[in-house]
Amino acid sequence: MKKLINNASEVVNEMLDGMVLSHPNELRRLDGTTVLVRKDAPVQGKPAIISGGGSGHEPAHAGFVGRGMLDAAVSGEVFTSPTPDQVFEAVKAVDGGSGVFLVIKNYTGDVMNFEMAAEMAEAEGIDVKYVVVNDDVAVEDSSFTSGRRGIAGTVLVHKILGAMAEEGASLGEIAEEAEKLVKDIKSMGMSLTPCIVPEAGKPGFTLADDEMEIGTGIHGEPGVERTGLLSADETAAALLEKIEQDMKLEPDMDVLLLINGLGATPLMEQYIISRAVHHLLKDKGVKVTETIVGEWMTSLEMAGVSVTLLKMNEDRQRWIAAAADTTAFKR
């Protein structure tokens, strides 16, 4: 195992320290926690937006803490949910009197622990609402979750709900849009190589040099098909086919396209996938109103990409275009 670390058991702690030291004017860390909050938190009169989950998906989620997106992010150990106590500390730290909204990826540990934290906060008189993101169309159940997994589409939820909060939306209005939003986001990924959890010291699965996995999860969960190597165009078509079946793409539909690198895929290859998806959507008469390409929710050093589509309307276009100032995403 080749990794630039000191001690496998300290990677999360040292990463968070490094983030704060690198961005001291934007972030601060709550003492004794794995919580990073925006430097000016709590922001009075604005619903606070919190997300988080296991580490190893950077820049998700701590990289999206800042004006226009998250007020706080809670990091668990690598691929492990943060504890309810950690989430509760985040809620208390960013509550500005207008309530707190939790964005939860659909993994069993995340859902259970964030829901427990919400109950703890409610007992303290803090109004908390949440949404569970389940954008992965690849599989219904996996080793980490019941139902569909939450993957890169979660970042779009951060962006839109964060913009709504900055714009002056109430907690109830944010919750109402969130429920509609998660139904309109669909994603599917693939991998060329596995990743190595530092404390495990070995790959979580194996792929031969001439193999790839279609539908892999962001923790290396099995996908829907292991196949021989496909070209970029063939890969894009395979990912979009499953999304289209679920999303029911129609001519004249407006969508946002998110291309997400999983950690070790060059931007060159991400843009080639973007090109392919654009051509496929144009052939179907679907209009891409916005394209976002880069690494947003990774899986350590896994090579691969995911494709996400979001149905757009005028409000969502405005919220996506709204100003954001975070370490990983700026508008």
Out of 23, 57, 61, 158, the active site residue is 57
Residue 57 is among the residues annotated as catalytic for this protein:
yes
The tokens describing 31, both together, are 């003492």
Residue pair 19/62 in contact (Cβ under 8 Å)? The answer is yes
Catalytic residue among 23, 61, 158, 219: 219
Spatial neighbors of 109 by CB under 8 A, at least 6 apart, are 76, 80, 81, 144
Helix (H) or strand (E) holding 123: helix 108-123
- C-alpha to C-alpha distance for 68 and 84, rounded to whole angstroms: 25
Q: Between the CA of residue 91 and those of 134, 166, 283, what are the distances in Å?
A: 23, 17, 46
211: β partners? 228
Is residue 219 annotated as a catalytic residue, yes or no?
yes
Q: What is the number of H-type helices and E-type strands within the chain?
A: 8, 14
- Strands, E assignment, the chain: 27-29, 35-38, 48-55, 66-67, 72-78, 100-105, 128-133, 185-191, 211-214, 225-228, 254-261, 287-294, 304-311, 325-326
According to the 3-state scheme, what is the secondary structure of 59-104?
Answer: CCCHHHEEECCECEEEEEEECCCCCHHHHHHHHHHHCCCCCEEEEE
Paired strand residues for 260: 294, 306
Q: Which two tokens stand for residue 172?
A: 């109830």
Active site residues: 57, 219
